[in-house]
Structure 1
């Protein structure tokens, strides 16, 4: 397992680019956690609880742009680190981090981060570079989504914001969805009917229920390709 873990961590370009002393220091102080599906690693507003890396499974980073709306900002896969923003500035968490399925996680606690950065001040730069990488990734993805046709933008939003349970309604009005996608309410009504007719979603007073998340993403890919 130790060799497998080393391979998983070394495959990440950020971690692999750190000086050996910093890599060894982070790995030596990391503590393992096994989490069930739906368990929160942290919630919006929580104080920083360390730097995390996924070893097995996936973690969803979720924000809530409006009441009843859930937006997945990032899916963190094995070998990827997250949680650096609050580690750097010491402020509250800006989103929820939720286990998507069974997850094995390593956490470097805040006390260990303080110890490491005191001994190796350049580690602060490494953490800043991790944050820059995430910010650039978010900007590229936001730009890509904005350039998609309206139907694809809606499909991406619904697939990403559907929650972990496939039958869990996404509570958002047509006005909310129209503002998010950037179309009129009448146009949104037509887009929702198209998705419902294809069996990808169902609509009701409780909101939009996702029937086929993979189908929504496949539709978005087809729309993007023209």
Structure 2
């Protein structure tokens, strides 16, 4: 449990808060475990609290207008979610699913509401989280708008790699999931990933991908 909390203190939104603020935010929370494939919460659920990913990976999916859900992002440790519905008492806008075994630090909504009620300055800290997640959403949209398929894949991998605890580590992302998140066909992704690997920019493993040279991959994508 201590290792998960230490990571959240060092990486992601919480790391930008003062040690005192971190203590106040984390107080009253608990670590929860989810098995691979288990749902953390679904679109339309009521908000019950804030979630900080301490270990493992989760995917984030959104519904479309024809009634299905589309996976748009795979999050790594240091990622926090649940902020938009937290104080507005609205329903969840996304579905979050564990794609590996994960540990998530959960802070219940009543505790957070009381924290802000007792010290309104704390609201600024949660607005900062909403800003972080809005930046993430805009980045996803901007990358999906890249018309060149190879550059779109490169941009996606560069971003996800950049927010890892240790950039350059393996991304537990199979190519079929990468295809979904970049809105490309699996054969297209397979062909282009193989090409990027042949250029020495990424490395392909079983169900995972690693950015070998982020600077070179960024230069290649910008050409």
TM-score range, shorter chain: 0.5 to 0.7
Aligned Cα root-mean-square deviation (Å): 3.8
Cα distance in 1, alignment partners of residues 138 and 192 from structure 2: 31
The alpha carbon displacement at 1:37 in A equals: 1.2
Q: Is the 8 A contact 1:32 1:104 kept in 2?
A: yes
The alpha carbon displacement at 1:118 in A equals: 1.8
TM-score by structure 1 length? Answer: 0.66
Question: Any idea what the Cα deviations from partners look like across 1:124-164, whole Å, max 9, x if unmatched?
Answer: 1111111111112221332233134146559999xxxxxx9
Cα distance in 2, alignment partners of residues 193 and 112 from structure 1: 44
Match of 1:45 in 2: 44
Match of 1:195 in 2: 188
The alpha carbon displacement at 1:68 in A equals: 6.4
Higher helix share: 1
Q: Is the 8 A contact 1:52 1:106 kept in 2?
A: yes
Runs of 4+ more than 6 Å apart: 154-157, 164-168
Cα distance in 2, alignment partners of residues 80 and 154 from structure 1: 21
Pair 143,9 (structure 1): closer, same or farther in 2 beyond 3 Å: same
Pair 66,13 (structure 1): closer, same or farther in 2 beyond 3 Å: same
The alpha carbon displacement at 1:167 in A equals: 7.9
Cα distance in 1, alignment partners of residues 189 and 75 from structure 2: 29
Q: Is the 8 A contact 2:28 2:107 kept in 1?
A: yes
Match of 1:54 in 2: 53
The alpha carbon displacement at 1:98 in A equals: 0.8
Match of 2:148 in 1: 149
Pair 122,60 (structure 1): closer, same or farther in 2 beyond 3 Å: same
Question: Any idea what the Cα deviations from partners look like across 1:50-72, whole Å, max 9, x if unmatched?
Answer: 00111111121111224365432
Cα distance in 2, alignment partners of residues 67 and 103 from structure 1: 31
The alpha carbon displacement at 1:92 in A equals: 0.5
Match of 2:30 in 1: 31
The alpha carbon displacement at 1:49 in A equals: 1.4
Q: Is the 8 A contact 2:48 2:109 kept in 1?
A: yes
Question: Any idea what the Cα deviations from partners look like across 1:175-222, whole Å, max 9, x if unmatched?
Answer: xxxxx97xxxxxxxxx8596399599xxxxxxxxxxx9758x99xx79
Q: Secondary structure at the match of 2:100?
A: strand
Q: Give the unaligned 5+ runs of structure 2.
A: 157-172, 194-205
Match of 2:161 in 1: none
Match of 1:79 in 2: 78
Q: Report the more deviating stretch, 38-47 or 21-30.
A: 21-30
Q: Is the 8 A contact 1:9 1:79 kept in 2?
A: yes
Alignment of 1:177-192 (within 5 A): none
- Give the number of aligned pairs: 188
